[in-house]
């Protein structure tokens, strides 16, 4: 238990820039105890270039998620009564630092736009990576002009952080007709970007939910009309990954709008070596569960509250599969 407390204190201090006072309140200990825990973390090798997760009750959440879904779970400690906005910022900060650790020379980084990834981009410190490339995974144009600008700015921010070559994906988030998508996929300019996407070494994306305290961008920025939202609800859709919609059981192939979506499907994502999914908020748990059942991720970064809610939902609904 002491090792676990040392890990939580070190994570909050080194990765989340929390003060001793905040850490003490979160752990329910004195500031002097926090200081001893951080010293203990250094002396016992918990603090190195990155943090390793020791055995113990706090690490148990990550171990249980890993065992259930065959993923690497990175569970970020955040104080219990924190707002979802605060939790998102803390998880985004850790995700940004982990991405800086994982991206190496000549890698292709795939990025799906969204509220969570935008938060991560804000925390990326300049980390030049020789020969790296950042490619947009899903189209962003919609009936309003801002979609392309929003996605372009996000890709540019991440590319600047890694000193990478950016590749935008100049197509709508959703085509009006599946036939139009099929025709566009034959265009050389589109095929070029699709080729870069297929070479992605590490993909970064969030999980969209139909309802969340921090609204998912795809549901509140003009990408879907009321009739489409009603259709998704009737079809038991709980959310999306890379603007491809899915149900809580992980199914997605027979959801009509997916034939018009421009993001990679779960099947296509599974061909990529490393897929990093970041999620915060109990409202996103059904969608996150659907994503994990569709096996879209190799790594999941989430806060403790969301991790507990996810495991509780698995218990209530049966084994993950």
Position 245 scores a pLDDT of 97
Position 276 scores a pLDDT of 98
How large a percentage of the chain has pLDDT more than 70?
92
Tens-place pLDDT, residues 103-115: 999 999 999 999 9
Q: Where in the chain is the domain with CATH 3.40.50.1360?
A: 59-317
Q: Please spell the DSSP secondary structure of 78-144, one letter per residue.
A: --TT--HHHHHHHHHHHHHHHHHHH--TT-EEEE--SHHHHHHHHTPPP---TT-EEEE-S--B-SS
Please name which of 187, 120, 54 lies closest in space to residue 170, comparing C-alpha atoms: 187
What does pTM read for this prediction? Answer: 0.81
Tens-place pLDDT, residues 83-132: 889 999 999 999 999 999 999 999 999 999 999 999 999 999 999 999 99
Q: Copy the structure tokens of residue 259.
A: 């034939």
Which CATH fold topology does 59-317 show?
A: Rossmann fold (3.40.50)
Q: Does residue 154 carry a pLDDT above 70?
A: yes
Position 56 scores a pLDDT of 44
CB neighbours (10 Å) of residue 264? 27
Q: Does residue 81 carry a pLDDT above 60?
A: yes
Q: Where in the chain is the domain with CATH 1.10.10.60?
A: 1-58
Position 143 scores a pLDDT of 64
Instruction: Select from 3.30.9.10, 3.30.428.10, 3.60.20.10, 1.10.10.60 the CATH code of 1-58.
Output: 1.10.10.60
């Amino acid at each position: 238990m002491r090792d676990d407390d040392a890990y939580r204190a070190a994570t909050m201090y080194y990765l989340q820039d929390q003060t001793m006072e905040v850490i003490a309140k979160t752990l329910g200990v004195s500031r002097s105890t926090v200081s001893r825990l951080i010293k203990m973390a250094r002396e016992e090798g918990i603090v190195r270039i990155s943090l390793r997760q020791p055995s113990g009750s706090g690490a148990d959440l990550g171990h249980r998620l890993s065992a259930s879904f065959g993923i690497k779970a990175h569970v970020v400690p955040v104080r219990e009564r924190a707002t979802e906005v605060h939790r998102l910022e803390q998880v985004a900060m850790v995700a940004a630092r982990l991405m800086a650790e994982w991206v190496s020379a000549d890698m292709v980084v795939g990025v799906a736009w969204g509220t969570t990834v935008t938060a991560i981009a804000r925390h990326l410190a300049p980390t030049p990576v020789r020969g790296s490339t950042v490619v947009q995974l899903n189209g962003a144009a919609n009936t309003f002009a801002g979609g392309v600008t929003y996605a372009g700015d996000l890709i540019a921010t991440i590319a600047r952080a890694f000193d990478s070559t950016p590749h935008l994906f100049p197509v709508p988030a959703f085509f009006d007709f599946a036939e139009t998508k099929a025709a566009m996929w034959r265009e050389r300019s589109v095929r070029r970007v699709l080729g870069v996407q297929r070479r992605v070494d590490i993909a970064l994306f969030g999980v969209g939910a139909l309802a969340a305290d921090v609204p998912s961008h795809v549901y509140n920025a003009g990408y879907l009309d009321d009739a489409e939202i009603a259709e998704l609800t009737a079809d038991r859709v709980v959310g999306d990954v890379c603007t491809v919609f899915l149900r809580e059981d992980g199914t997605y192939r027979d959801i009509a709008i997916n034939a018009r979506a421009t993001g990679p499907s779960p099947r296509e994502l599974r061909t990529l070596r490393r897929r990093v999914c970041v999620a915060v908020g109990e409202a996103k748990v059904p969608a996150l569960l659907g994503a994990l059942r569709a096996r879209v991720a190799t790594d999941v970064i989430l806060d403790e509250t969301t991790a507990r809610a996810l495991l509780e939902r698995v218990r209530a609904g049966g084994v993950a599969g």
